[in-house]
Amino acid sequence: MTVTAGGEPQSGARRGPRAHLAHVLGLLDRPLTSYYLVIGCTLLLLALGLTMVLSASSVNQLKSTGSAFTLLQKQATWVAIGLPLMAVTAMLPPRFFRVAAYPILLLSVLALALVLVPGLGQNVNGATRWLSFGGGIQLQPSEPAKLGLVLWGADLLARKDKLRMLNDWRQLLIPLLPGSGLLVLLVMLGNDLGTTLIVFTIFLALLWVIGAPARLFVGMTGLVVLLTAILIVVEPYRMNRLTGFLDPTGDPLGAGYQSNQGLYMLGSGGLFGTGLGEGRAKWEYLPHGDTDFIFAVLGEELGLVGTLIVLGLFGLLAYAGLRVARRVRDPFMRLAATGVTAWVVVQAIVNIGAVINVLPITGIPLPLVSYGGSALIPTLIGLGVLLSFAKREPGARQALAARGPGPAARALSWLGLGRSR
């Protein structure tokens, strides 16, 4: 070790804990931190999701189709479609998203209306969420509707902010409240409580970012709670879920069965889990283990360590999204970044909360991890929007220019689609 004449270590020598902490904080303050965090967390969650989809579905798929890899192959196909879409989306300018918001929202509303037409909508577990196109191809219109609401609401409020119209509380709500209310109504008519909560979350996140008065924000939150309570009371199966949540041991083979099984799986995993593929949940003990309750399968096979890794990845994703929202200067980007972050992170919280029995079961998937292309692809596009904004943080353009074009940019340039600088 190199020392000075007085015996003190020089700057290049071993660092103490404070120096290490300062070094880590310095890394977090770099221009492209948000960009790399979003990419890294997304890829790790996708890889983990593919692994757990295979593990959770292998027994049922082997029994029903003769191959343990059926759902894995489908999910890998959705990932192979979604990742390039995310990469292309990350290269688009914010003005594209502002223009695209309106057709995305309009098409989503039309598709949600079609779901309610008898013979077109598919009912699964009490909720009419799906449009079937034959050949096993299905679409859940409420998923792209989340993206449409984020972009449309952000553009609407950004335009009003530019015109200095947001001093009046009515301008905060009109037409944002009727537009969000229409989406909520269509989703509610399909008996999809989980998606209804996420749409409400996006609406409240937009109000919070734009600086809605506390009384208005509290009033809207109270309205959300009231409508949620109504949704639960009017549907017997939701009341059964609520009863099972409040008293999981009261009906262990009925309303409380899925919740109890999820907790058993988490508890049996211990610290490091039973090992990949060694869990018992897949042997038809846990319903929907590859979708709504995939976190329980993960906890059983990867243990507490695995669940904490997933929580950490979503925590980093939340940090990255809010960092983008804080650092960008454009109101539209700030609003949309917060909306996308609230959508993905709150959905993860609701899903995990249901598995660990601190929230009632709502039937929504764990983003990027659960099986399903209808949820996965809009989520990846939303994260691509976040990446596009992250590249517009202060100093990010210069850092990217110094790094050189990435593979996606080179491919688009080779095809003659690259954007000239």
Coil/strand/helix, residue 129: strand
Mode of pairing for the β-strands spanning 127-132 and 121-124 = antiparallel
Residue 390, domain member (yes or no): yes
Distance separating alpha carbons of residues 183 and 26, to the nearest angstrom: 43
Residue 362, domain member (yes or no): yes
> In 184-205, which positions are buried (b, 16+ CB within 10 angstroms) versus exposed (e)?
bebbbebbbbbbbbbbbbbbbb
Domain count, the chain: 1
Q: What is the pTM of this model?
A: 0.87
Give the number of other CB atoms < 10 A from CB of residue 300.
30
Residue 19, domain member (yes or no): no
pLDDT of 414: 46
Are 301 and 274 in contact by the 8 Å Cβ rule? The answer is yes
Are 301 and 267 in contact by the 8 Å Cβ rule? The answer is no
Instruction: Tokens for 414, please give them.
Output: 């080779």
Pick from 419, 302, 317: nearest CA to 367: 317
Distance separating alpha carbons of residues 201 and 48, to the nearest angstrom: 26
Structural domain span for residue 228:
32-396
Are 328 and 340 in contact by the 8 Å Cβ rule? The answer is no
CA 392 to chain centre: 22
pLDDT of 346: 95
pLDDT of 13: 47
Which letter does DSSP use for residue 168 in this model? S
Residue 407, domain member (yes or no): no
Residue 410, domain member (yes or no): no
Alpha-helix residue ranges (DSSP H) falling in 190-213: 193-210
Region for residue 7 given its phi and psi (left: phi exceeds 0; alpha: psi -120 to 50; beta: otherwise): left
Instruction: Tokens for 144, please give them.
Output: 């792209």
Are 238 and 354 in contact by the 8 Å Cβ rule? The answer is no
Are 213 and 169 in contact by the 8 Å Cβ rule? The answer is yes
Instruction: Tokens for 274, please give them.
Output: 């039973």
pLDDT of 192: 79
pLDDT 10s digit of each residue in the chain, 421 long? 445 544 444 444 456 677 766 666 566 778 789 999 999 999 999 999 999 999 999 988 888 888 989 999 999 999 999 999 999 999 999 999 999 999 999 999 999 988 888 777 676 665 667 777 666 667 888 899 999 999 999 999 999 988 888 777 777 788 888 999 899 888 888 777 888 889 989 999 998 988 888 888 888 888 888 887 877 777 776 777 777 677 667 666 766 788 888 888 898 889 999 998 888 877 878 888 888 899 999 999 999 999 999 999 999 999 999 999 999 999 999 999 999 999 999 999 999 999 998 888 888 899 999 998 889 999 999 999 999 999 998 877 787 777 766 555 554 454 444 444 4
* Burial of residue 133 (number of CB atoms within 10 Å: 0-12, 13-18, 19+): exposed
pLDDT of 259: 84
Helix 294-327 / helix 33-65 crossing angle, nearest 10 deg: 160
Pick from 243, 366, 238, 224: nearest CA to 295: 366
Residue 3, domain member (yes or no): no
Q: Around 85, how many Cα atoms within 13 Å sit in the side-chain half-sphere?
A: 15
pLDDT tens digit string along 280-330?
877 878 888 888 899 999 999 999 999 999 999 999 999 999 999 999 999
Are 327 and 401 in contact by the 8 Å Cβ rule? The answer is no
Distance separating alpha carbons of residues 14 and 181, to the nearest angstrom: 59
Are 35 and 41 in contact by the 8 Å Cβ rule? The answer is no
Residue 178, domain member (yes or no): yes
Residue 199, domain member (yes or no): yes
